[in-house]
Amino acid sequence: MAAPDELKETLVAMARHARQASRQLAASDTATKNRILLAMADGLVAGEETILAANECDLAAAAGLPAAMVDRLRLTPERIAAIAEDVRHVATLPDPVGRVIEEFAGAKGICIRKVSVPIGVIAILFESRPNVTVDAAALCLKSGNAVMLRGGKEAIHSNLALAAALEASGRPAGLPDG
C-alpha cells in the first residue's frame, strides 16, 4: 500500500490531468463526443477477453461474499455487450451542453438565459458494480466532464480493465489524455 504522501501526490496528479482533460471535453462538439462514445463501445466488445480475464480475478477473490454481491460483480459476454449497447445509447441522447434551461427579459429589456454547462471534473466513489465504471464515464463524457472513478475493491481488476478498454479505444477517436 502506498504511503499517505505518495497517495496524495498520485491523486493530485490525477486531478490535474483530469482538469486539463475537462477543458478539452467542455469544448468538444456533439459529433466528437458521440464519435468517442461509439469507439468506446466498440472497444469494450473488442476487449471482452481481457475484461473477462480480469473479472475472473475479482470473482476468485470474492469467495465468501454474499451471492447477490458476486452476481453484481460478475461480467459475462452478454453483460459486456449490454454495457457497450448502453454506451451506444448515450451517444444517441441529446447533448446537454448549451441547452437553454430558462430565459426571460430582465430589467431594461436585457435577455437573461440560464444555460447548461459542464461542471469540469466529477469524482465518483461507488460499490463493486463494474458496469458503473462504464456508465459514469459515458455520461460524464456526454456532458463534457472529466471523471475520476473509484469503485469498490472487490472489482478492482474488472474496473481497471474496463477503464483501459475505454481509454485505449477512445483516444484515437479524440478522447483527451487524463
Residue 167 CB-density burial (10 A; 0-12 exposed, 13-18 middle, 19+ buried): middle
Q: Positive or negative CA dihedral for 4, 14, 92, 74?
A: negative
* Residue numbers of the chain with a pLDDT score lower than 70: 1
pLDDT in tens, 154-174: 999 999 999 999 999 999 999
The pLDDT assigned to 7 comes to 86
Calpha distance 108→62 (Å, rounded): 65
3-state secondary structure the chain: CCCHHHHHHHHHHHHHHHHHHHHHHHCCCHHHHHHHHHHHHHHHHHCHHHHHHHHHHHHHHCCCCCHHHHHHHCCCHHHHHHHHHHHHHHHHCCCCCCCEEEEEECHHHCEEEEECCCCCEEEEECCCCHHHHHHHHHHHHHCCCEEEEECCHHHHHHHHHHHHHHHHHHHHHCCCCC
The pLDDT, as a whole number, for residue 1 is 62
The confidence score (pLDDT) of residue 124 equals: 95
